[in-house]
Chain A
Amino acid sequence: MGQELDLELLGEILKQFQPVRENLIPVLQAVQEQFGYLHPDAVGPVAKFMKIFPSEVAGVISFYSQFTTTPRGKNVIRVCRGTACHVRGGRTVYQTVRKFTQLEDGATSEDMRFTFETVACLGACALSPVMVINKAYYGKLNAGRIEAVLKNLP
C-alpha cells in the first residue's frame, strides 16, 4: 500500500495492444497480471492510451470483480459460497477462515500474508465444501482440517 507505480513498465505493457475501446478489458487484465493489482495511478495513463475518459476506465474497473485496486496478500484464500458448498457446510469454512485470519471478506492482512475472499462457485462441487488458496484446491473440509492447512501456509 502506498507503493509507487512503475510507469515505464506500464507503458511497455500498453504498447502491446491496439488502442481501441474493445481492448480495454484485456489491457486492464494484462496490467493487473503484471502488478498484482490495478494501482489508482494507472487509470490516467490507460485512459490516455485508449483515448477515453478516466471515468470510463474507472467505471469498467469497478464493475468487474476480477479487478482489484488494492494489493493482495501472499496467500489469497478464496472460500466458495456456491450452492453445493452452502448445502454441505460452507458457512463453517467461512467462519473458520474468518476467525483464523481475523479478516472480513475482501480484506488483506496488515502483514500482507493473507487475503480473504469469497467466490460464488469454484466448480469443484463434488468436493464441497471447498476453498482455494492461490491455485491449490482444498475440499471435504471441516474446522480441524482448515486450521491445519492455514497454519502451514508461508
Chain B
Amino acid sequence: MDRLNSVADLTRYRLALQRRRDPNMTEIAVCSDTGCQAWGADEVASRFEAELGGEGTNRKARVKRVGCMGLCERGPLVAIRPHGIFYQRVSAEDVPEVVSETIDRYNILGRLLYADPDSEKRFVYEPEIPFFAQQKRLLLSLNGLIDPLSIEEAIVHGGYTALEEVLASWEPARVVDAIERSGLRGRGGGGFPAGTKWRLTLLAEGPRKFVICNAAEGDPGAFMDRAVLQGNPHSVIEGVIIAAYAVGATEGYIYLRADYPLAIQRITTALDQARDLGLLGENILGTGIDFDIRLFQGAGAFVCGEETAQIAAIEGRRGMPRPRPPYPEHSGLFGCPTVVNNVETFANVPHIIVMGPDVYSLIGTEGSTGTKILALTGKVNNSGLVEVPMGITLRQVVFDIGRGIPRDRKCKAVQIGGPSGGCIPEKLLDLPIDFDSLRAVGSMMGSGAMVVMDENTCMVEVARYFLSFTADESCGQCAPCRIGSKQMLEILTKITRGLGTLKDLERLERIGHLVQRTSLCGLGQTCPNPVLSALTYFRDEFEAHIVRKRCPAGVCEALVLSPCQHTCPAGIDVPSYVAFLSQGDYEKAIDVIRERNPFPAVCGRICHHPCEGKCRRGEVDEPVSIRYLKRFAADWAYANQAPPEPFPVTRKQRVTVVGAGPAGLSCAYFLAKMGYKTTVFEALSHGGGMLDVALPEFRLPKDVLRKEIDYIQAKGVEILYDSPINQYHTLEDLRAEGFDAVFVAAGAHRSQELRIPGEQEGIEGLSYGLHLLRDVKAGEHVRMGNRVLIIGGGNTAVDAARSALRRGARHVTVMYRRSREEMPVSPYEFHQAQEEGIEFQFLVSPTRIERTNGKVTGVRFIRMSLGEPDESGRRKPFPVEGSDFFLEADMVVPAVGQAPDLSFLPADSQLERVKWGALKVDPDTLCTNIPWIFAGGDFVTGPSMVIYAIATGRRAALSIDRYFRGAKDPLIITDEKYHFIPEPPSRPEDLDQPRPRVEMPSLRPAERVSSFCELETGFTEDQARIEASRCLRCDLERMKEIESRSDTDL
C-alpha cells in the first residue's frame, strides 16, 4: 500500500476500501486468540481454509482469523457473518459439515449452538446469547470482526477515523478538553482522570515529551489488555497517537510484557503497517507532526505495572518505584514530561473523539463513565472476557452473563482487583462495579480481573495465595512491603497448616494496616487488601482453622486428609470404607463406619451427605455415592453378621442419657465403647427419637431402625423405655442413684405455630406436620383431606406432604414463604416429591385459616417478595401489598419448625438458658453450667440433620470421659484414619473417560404413591463394587505427603 500523505488521503483510502468490500461475501470468523488457540482454533481455521479452497467454489466465503470474542469457556468459537450464526466448541472434525450444511445450505447444526447451563435452551444468533446480550461491547466491538493483522480491515471498520478528525481540525487543547469532559479514568487500576494527566503534560515545559502505553498487565487472572492488543491493535495505536498529539510528545513506548508473544507479534506488525501507511513516524499524514512508537518488552516484574517502576525499566534500570511527586507528567521518562496510561484507557480515546465526550459520558455512571472490560474466571459457568457499562452489579455479571456457578454450588465470594483487591462476599454482590463503590467495602475494581469462588474455596488459602504472589513480586525497596508482606505470608501459611493462634489474627490486622499506610507504591499499599477483606467477611473460617483445626472448605492439606472425611460432621474415614467395599471386604467396611457412626443403615438412607458435595470425583463427573454405599455396607452387615458381643466394661463411672434419639444413643454407644456402663432413659415406648416418630417409612422402614437400636443394645447399652425424666424422676434423682454424669438429648418435638387468625386447636382439618407424621407412622387412623395445603419448606413439610399423598389426599400443595433456592429440603427429595405429583408454591405466606362449622375450608395467603439482605445475609421476605388470594382446602398442615420442650426440667432449675430458651452449653465440651450435666442434639440446637446429632453424641461421650479424667485442655476432634489402610486400587482411573454414578434402583413414582414401601431398593453387590471403584482415594495422596514430610506450598 502506498504511503498516505494527507488527511484527505486517509479519507479517500477508507472510502476506496469500503467500496471494494463484497457485501455477498460470507465471512467465517474463527477466534484465534490465546485461549481459543489452546483449544485448537488453529486446526479449525486451517481445516476451513482447506475445505473452502476446494472445488465447487461457487461459494463466496472466506476464513478470517480474528481476535478474542470473549466466550472463552466454549472455544473454539466460530461466527458466520453477516448472518450472525454463532457456533461454539467447534472441532476440526466438525468443519466439513459446517461448510456443507451451514455455509452452503443455511442449515443450522444444533449441537454446535450455545446452550444455557440452566435451561438447555439453544441460541442461534450472537446478540441473543445471554453472555453477549447484557454486555456493551465498545472497545471489543471489532474483536471477532476484523483480522488483527490487517490494517485495511481496521480502517474499513472505522479505525483511525478519530485520528483523521483530530489532525484535520482539532487543536491539541481541544483534545485534552474532550478527554477531560468525557470523565475517562485510568483503566489499569488507579482510576486517575486521564484528562488531568494529559492536561498537566500538555502544560509542562520541555523539549522532549513521551507517551507510554502500559501493557504490563500483571494481575493473575487478567487478560483484558491482551485481548484488545491482540484483537484490535490499531485501536490502541490510534489512542496513543492522539495522546501524543494532544500533549506534544514526539516519542512513545508500548511497554508490553515479554511473555505475551502473540501480542508482541501483532503489535509489531501493526506498528509496521501504521508506519508504512504514514500514520506513524515522520510527518504523519503530511501534517508535519513527528511521532513514533517503540516496543519495549517487559522482562518480567509485576511491580513494573506501576508507572515510575515502568519508567525505570525502560531506562534500563531495576524496576523499582520512586516516591511521587514529582509525577511523570512533570518529570517522567529520562526526566521529561510523560503520559503513562493503560491499554484500555487508550482504546477508549478514539470512541470519545468520534461519539463526542458528552455522548460517551452517558455510558456508565456519573463518577465512572464508559465501559470496563472484565476477565471473568474461576467457579463460573461462562468463563471469559466481557465488556460491560460501569455501574452494572457484580451479581449481574456473575449470574446473568456468567450464568452462575457450575454444579449448582453456591457462590461464596468474588475476588476483584487481583492482588490489590479484596474479596466481596455473596451478600454484597448487588454492589455496582465502578471505581468508587467497591472501595467502601475494602476492595477495588482494579484492572478488572474478577475471580468467582464457591463453597469449596478456602478464603484463608486464597489470602495466603495472594500474599505469596505479592511477597514474591515486592521489589524490596521499602521495609513495610518487603518485610510486612513476608510476615503476613508466614502467618497465613502457619494458619493454613493448623499452627496459628488467635493472636495471629490481631497481628495480621496490625501489620496489614501498617503496610497499607506506609508502603512506597501501590503494590505495597494494596497487598494487604485480600487478607484484610477476608478477615472482615470470613473471620469464622480463620477461627475454624485456628481453634478447631478445621478447614470448612475442605482444602488446606495439612488439616484435611480427604475432603469427604473432613466435611463429615462425624469424621467417618470415608475413603477407607469405600475402598474396602470395592475390594469385597464388607466386614472391614462396616467396622470403619461403626468407629464413628452407630447408625449406618439410617444414614445410608437419609443423611444429607455433605461429603458428596466435597467429593473430588464430583469435579470430574459425579461424586461417589458415599451414602448409598454406606447403606449397602449396613444392609450387608445386618443380613450376614452374627449378633455382636457387648463392649467390655472397664470403667467404674456410670453415665446416664436422657432420650434414645440418635444423639443420645450415639453418646451411649461411644461411652460403652470406651468402657463405661451407660443407661438411657426414654419417655416413649420405642427408641429412635425423630427417626422413629416422624420419619416416613418410605424413607426409613421401621425394621431398619429397630435393627440399629438392637445392635446398640447388644453392644452393652441399657435402654429403659416408658421412663421419662420429669418432676417425679429428676436429674438430681439420677445423681443420687449413682450416675456420675448425664447427657440430656431430649430432642425438639414441640411444633411451632403459625400465629395467624383461625389457627385454633381442635378444629377439624388442622394438623401439625409432626403430629401427622407421628399418627401415620403409628398406624393411627388419620382423617385425610382431599385438598391438602402444607405450610413450610423443610424435611417435615415435604415428608408430611408425601405421607398425605400416600394416605389418599388427591391434591397436595406445599406453600413456602421463601424462594426455591432457600428451601432447606434437599434437591433430590424435592425432585422425588415433584415426581410423585406434589405441587410447590414459593414466596407465599398464610394470613388466615378460614373455617366453617369447626371445619377448615381454606387458607388466605399473601405473596412475598425478597427484600434487602439482613445481617445474616439472607434476603428478608416482605409481603406484597394487595396480592392476597384464597386457596380452598379441607386440610392444613403447618410444618414451620420444632422447638425443644424444656418443661420436664424443674422450674427452679439452675441450668442456664440462652435467649431463645434452649439450654446454654459450651460448644466444645457440651457441658452446661453444672459440671456433671451435658446436653446436645436437637435439644440444644433446634431441628437439625441426623449426622450432626450422631457427631454431637460422640463429642459428648469424649467430653464426659475427659471430665472424669480431669482433662483441662480444649477438646479438638481431628480426622483419624482407620488403623488399617486399604490397598490402593490396582488400576488407576482413566479420568478422560467419564464414568457417572451407578443409578440407585427406585420404585417408579406411580408405584411409590400407593404405598409406604421404601422407594429406593438398594444396590446389588455388583453395583456397589462398581460404584465404590470410582473413588479416587484422595487420602493416599495425603498419606504419602505426611510420610515424606514435604513442603507443598506454592
Contacts and interface: CB of A to CB of B under 8 A. Distances in A.
Is B truly associated with A? yes
Interface of A: 20-26, 28-29, 59-60, 63-67, 81-84, 86-91, 94-95, 105, 118-121, 123-128, 130, 135, 137-139, 142-145, 148
Contacts of B260: 123
A124 B1037 CA distance: 27
Interface residues on B, range: 35 or more
B97 interface: no
Interface of B: 34-35, 37-39, 72-73, 75, 218-223, 226, 258-261, 296-297, 299-302, 313-319, 334, 375, 377-379, 383-384, 415, 418, 449, 451-453, 457, 462, 465-466, 469, 473, 475, 619-620, 988-992, 1037, 1048, 1050
Contact of A137 (B38, B221, B988, B1048): B38
A78 B862 CA distance: 59
B562 to A, nearest CB: 14
Contacts of B1037: 95
User: Which of A81, A121, A128 has the largest number of chain B CB atoms within 10 A?
Assistant: A121
B301 A64 contact: yes
Contacts of A25: 296-297, 299, 313, 316
Contacts of B316: 20-25, 60
A75 to B, nearest CB: 17
Given A121-B222, A125-B35, A135-B261, 16 more contacts: A22-B316, A29-B258, A60-B316, A64-B319, A66-B259, A67-B300, A83-B378, A83-B449, A87-B457, A91-B1048, A121-B221, A123-B222, A124-B72, A137-B34, A138-B38, A145-B991
13 contacts: A23-B316, A81-B465, A83-B415, A83-B418, A87-B453, A87-B462, A91-B1050, A120-B218, A121-B219, A121-B221, A126-B75, A126-B377, A137-B37
A64 B222 contact: no
Nearest to A125: B377
A148 B259 CA distance: 26
Given A137-B38, A144-B990, A64 B1050 contact: no
B672 to A, nearest CB: 42
B210 to A, nearest CB: 12
Nearest to A89: B619
Nearest to A79: B1050
Given A64-B299, A121-B219, A142-B991, A128 B377 contact: yes
Contact of A82 (B73, B220, B318, B620): B220
B114 to A, nearest CB: 14
Given A21-B316, A29-B299, A91-B1050, A66 B258 contact: yes
B301 A84 contact: no
User: Which of A81, A119, A123, A124 has the largest number of chain B CB atoms within 10 A?
Assistant: A123
A88 B379 contact: yes
A22 to B, nearest CB: 5
A133 B65 CA distance: 24
Contacts of A66: 258-259, 299-300
B319 A123 contact: no
A87 B377 CA distance: 9
B314 A22 contact: yes
A81 B465 CA distance: 9
A130 B457 CA distance: 18
A83 B465 contact: yes
Contacts of B452: 87
A84 B383 contact: yes
Nearest to A28: B299
User: Which of A60, A65, A82 has the largest number of chain B CB atoms within 10 A?
Assistant: A82
Given A120-B469, A127-B39, A84 B378 contact: yes
A145 to B, nearest CB: 6
B377 A83 contact: yes
Contacts of A126: 35, 72-73, 75, 377, 383-384
